[in-house]
Amino acid sequence: MDINLITTQDGSHTLEVPSLKERYHSIHGAIQESKHVFIEMGLRHFSSGYISILEVGFGTGLNAFLTFLETTDKEILISYHALEPFPLPFSCTTKLNYLQLLEAEKFQEIFNSMHHAPWNQTIQITPKYKFQKLPCQVQETNYKTEFELIYYDAFAPHAQAEMWNKSIFSKMVKALKSGGILVTYCAKGDVRRTMQKVGFQVQKLPGPPGKREMLRGIKP
Ligand SMILES: C[S@@+](CC[C@H](N)C(=O)[O-])C[C@H]1O[C@@H](n2cnc3c(N)ncnc32)[C@H](O)[C@@H]1O
């Protein structure tokens, strides 16, 4: 796959896939977007305890790493379950400037260990952070009430429409425990209605800088 490394407006890198005419993050700021959508509106919805997370699209590992950082100063235990059918080459992920910008260079080994993690095996990265990576597509999954939180970080509907249909969101609602939430940067009306049809209570929340809104679905 042809991929270009580009710098977004907050100085953090993202990747661009010319064939899909799509980027891994918002051009307004990759770190800014991930922190807002997944950490502030997702993870911080839960104040303490054990949180089991499903990420749809591991990609650069930015969300997984930001989630790990939250464990360094909070009373949370994370079990992180990441899906990635099209892993990025290490030649690409080693160029990303996230750790420098987050002033987290001392955790370089941890970032690397997520990228190098063997597939389908749970590894205990730190006492508070357990990690598993699966090389499969979300369409192939069949989870039942396993997660508190889903980071739904697929490519946008115009680039990958098949990731935003009723059948996948039915799987996502089943995968969540009652009271669990799904967060996504996408705020399209069609996506919101699809989520409502499969049983999510959907909230429109303020989006990250440069985007008006985002969505959070709650499983009643
Ligand atoms: C918008 S990128 C976001 C990646 C990542 N969360 C990040 O911050 O870098 C979308 C990701 O979804 C992955 N993906 C594509 N099709 C998928 C599928 N059917 N199931 C799960 N993930 C998929 C892509 O390979 C890509 O890594």
CA of 17 to the centre of ligand 1 (A): 12
Decide: 114 in ligand 1 pocket, CB within 6 A.
Answer: no
Instruction: Give SS3 for 177.
Output: strand
Neighbours of 207 (CB within 10 A): 20
Tell me which residues of the chain have a pLDDT lower than 70. 1
Cα 208 from chain centre: 15
Decide: 56 in ligand 1 pocket, CB within 6 A.
Answer: yes
Assign domain 26-218 to its CATH superfamily: Vaccinia Virus protein VP39 (3.40.50.150)
User: Domain locations in the chain?
Assistant: 26-218
How many Å apart are CA 27 and CA 19, to the nearest integer? 17
Buried b (16+ CB within 10 A) or exposed e, 123-157: eebeebbbbbbbeeebeebeeeeebbbbbbbbbbb
For the CA of 154, the nearest atom of ligand 1: 10
Nearest CA to ligand 1 atom 11: 57
Decide: 84 in ligand 1 pocket, CB within 6 A.
Answer: yes
Nearest CA to ligand 1 atom 2: 24
Which pLDDT score, from 0 to 100, does residue 47 have?
86
Which pLDDT score, from 0 to 100, does residue 1 have?
67
Decide: 63 in ligand 1 pocket, CB within 6 A.
Answer: yes
